[in-house]
Amino acid sequence: MKAPDLPGSECALFFDFDGTLVDLAPTPDTIAVLPRTAELLFQLKLALNGALAIVSGRPVSEIDHYLHSLKLTVAGVHGTELRVAEGPMRRMPVASLDQAATVIAQLCEQHPALLMERKPGAIALHYRQVPALEDMCLAVMEEALLHAEGMALLRGKFVVEMKPSRATKAAAVHALMDYKPFRLRRPWFFGDDVTDESAFELVQSMGGVAIKIGEGETLASHRLANPAELHDWLAAAAAQLGAQQPERFTR
């Protein structure tokens, strides 16, 4: 599987975050964001007239934090949250998850190496520190799902997440393609996990390009080895598309 060519000015770029723009870490709050990440995204955003977005399982507020308040278009929590550039936040209505959280918290009390992450409209259970507990985590999340109307489970790398059934990365990309910065452009999606496969399938069905970051089976037709290789690709793309841009992102 080959690396992608550099994009043309007619493209729209969509990026997953963890495992794609940044290396995975033992816990969600211990990631290390390279200093040039925000700068490269800023340059590409300018060059593409705003047609660049983050589509992540993280909340929008966390993406803003890690990108040093660079206000990009972001679909957060797999599309549960949606903010186009600096516009208003839109959130899917979600029923209370308190009962489900109680069930999950009981397991975390028994196994402190597990991590329950509450998000706007979702709950993730991380077991990266204790992968042997995978089956137990899945069973408890399935039990918790019985207390959460309109929700579905989504598995990722050492994590299982309860999120709204309607919230998928494919649906988020599809919705964003109706907004002016993205409309009539060719979509490119970069992701590393099974949670990104629906978006890969969608963009390729639209004549776009899907790029898998890292190893593993995938529907994507292109691959880059790791986030560092993606950053090199971003730098080359920014140079090709935005060499004439005089502005720089400042924190």
Could you list the active site residues?
A: 16
Q: What is the 3-state secondary structure (H, E, C) of the chain?
A: CCCCCCCCCCEEEEECCECCCECCCCCHHHCCCCCHHHHHHHHHHHHCCCCEEEECCCCHHHHHHHCCCCCCEEEEHHHCEEECCCCCEEECCCCCCHHHHHHHHHHHHHCCCCEEEEECCEEEEECCCCHHHHHHHHHHHHHHHCCCCCEEEEEECCEEEEEECCCCHHHHHHHHCCCCCCCCCEEEEEECCHHHHHHHHHHHHCCCEEEEECCCCCCCCEEECCHHHHHHHHHHHHHHHHCCCCCCCCC
